[in-house]
């Protein structure tokens, strides 16, 4: 009996990190809180305000003894805050963390309460997308008996405003919302693979099946580049041929500037 041939393409994964430093930042999303409303440099003011909140948190008498046991000379606290259109925190996409396993386990949840409840007046230059704000605080620890002081260390991750990330768009998906565009991209990719797929003759004859794992980039011009594959050689050839036939896309952007975005996709060949 003739074999039935299946090609299955499971969900694509968008690169979790848009290239940082690949674009020139221009102010796009700016948090405005009551304490900084009259300050000419609102982003710097927000950073300083949050820094002082962190210092107040870690120097609280209830926690000072625990931090005195910390045996390193520096302490790092980071926050990745994502706000929805109503300026409310999207908790499932946000996080706050102390860069120490023991302290983090004990205090990360309390730190979330501190950051997630910031009183925001508005976020300027709002686009109909989530607004992403990353903060990094480094402190030099000075211990003196039963007291502890924290000296802030300026780091290279200077907060200068938020970011809006937009995914690349498959032709025909350009006018959709971000969520719709993701579903559209998936559907278009599935159709592209089904339309262009030919199970390799030699693989069929030898009964070879398996999964090819594919990673590729959509560059700033929306072109497919840097294709990487792992899997059975014969199947990889077919997967490579199909990916090379993909059309040019509308590139992904950060604050309106085109950036390179990585994608990954497992392609399952089944006999």
What tens digit of pLDDT does each residue of 81-119 get? 999 888 889 999 999 999 999 899 999 999 999 899 988
What's the pLDDT at 189? 92
Query: pLDDT-derived band of residue 19, with 50, 70 and 90 as boundaries?
Result: very low
Tell me the whole-structure pTM to 2 decimals. Answer: 0.70
What's the pLDDT at 172? 94
Range among 30-39, 68-77, 118-127, 221-230 with highest mean pLDDT value: 221-230
Range among 69-73, 128-132, 155-159, 201-205 with highest mean pLDDT value: 201-205
CA-derived radius of gyration, the chain: 24
Query: Which residues fall within 8 angstroms of residue 247, CB to CB, at 6 or more apart?
Result: 170, 171
End-to-end CA distance of the chain: 13
8 Å CB contact between 112 and 56: no
What's the pLDDT at 23? 34
Q: Which two tokens stand for residue 6?
A: 């299946």
Residue 126 has pLDDT above 80, yes or no: no
What's the pLDDT at 125? 64
What's the pLDDT at 26? 44
From CA 116, how far away is CA 109, in angstroms rounded? 10
Q: Which two tokens stand for residue 192?
A: 């592209």
């Amino acid at each position: 009996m003739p074999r039935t041939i299946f090609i299955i393409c499971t969900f694509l994964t968008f690169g979790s990190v848009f290239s940082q430093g690949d674009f020139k930042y221009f102010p796009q999303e700016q948090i405005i809180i009551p304490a900084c409303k009259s300050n000419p440099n609102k982003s710097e003011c927000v950073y300083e305000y949050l820094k002082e909140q962190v210092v107040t948190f870690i120097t609280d008498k209830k926690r000072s003894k625990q931090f005195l046991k910390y045996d390193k000379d520096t302490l790092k606290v980071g926050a990745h805050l994502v706000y929805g259109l109503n300026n409310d925190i999207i908790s499932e996409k946000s996080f706050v963390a102390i860069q120490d396993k023991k302290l983090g386990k004990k205090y990360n949840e309390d730190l979330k309460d501190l950051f997630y409840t910031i009183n925001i007046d508005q976020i300027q230059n709002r686009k109909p997308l989530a607004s992403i704000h990353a903060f990094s605080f480094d402190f030099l620890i000075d211990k003196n008996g039963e007291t502890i002081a924290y000296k802030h260390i300026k780091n290279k991750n200077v907060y200068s405003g938020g970011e809006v990330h937009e995914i690349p768009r498959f032709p025909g998906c350009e006018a959709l919302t971000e969520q719709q565009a993701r579903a559209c991209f998936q559907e278009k990719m599935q159709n592209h693979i089904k339309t262009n797929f030919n199970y390799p003759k030699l693989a069929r004859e030898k009964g070879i099946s398996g999964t090819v794992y594919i990673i590729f980039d959509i560059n700033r011009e929306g072109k497919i580049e840097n294709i990487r594959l792992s899997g059975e050689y014969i199947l990889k050839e077919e997967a490579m041929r199909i990916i090379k036939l993909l059309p040019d896309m509308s590139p992904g952007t950060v604050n309106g500037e085109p950036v390179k975005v990585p994608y990954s996709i497992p392609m399952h060949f089944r006999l």
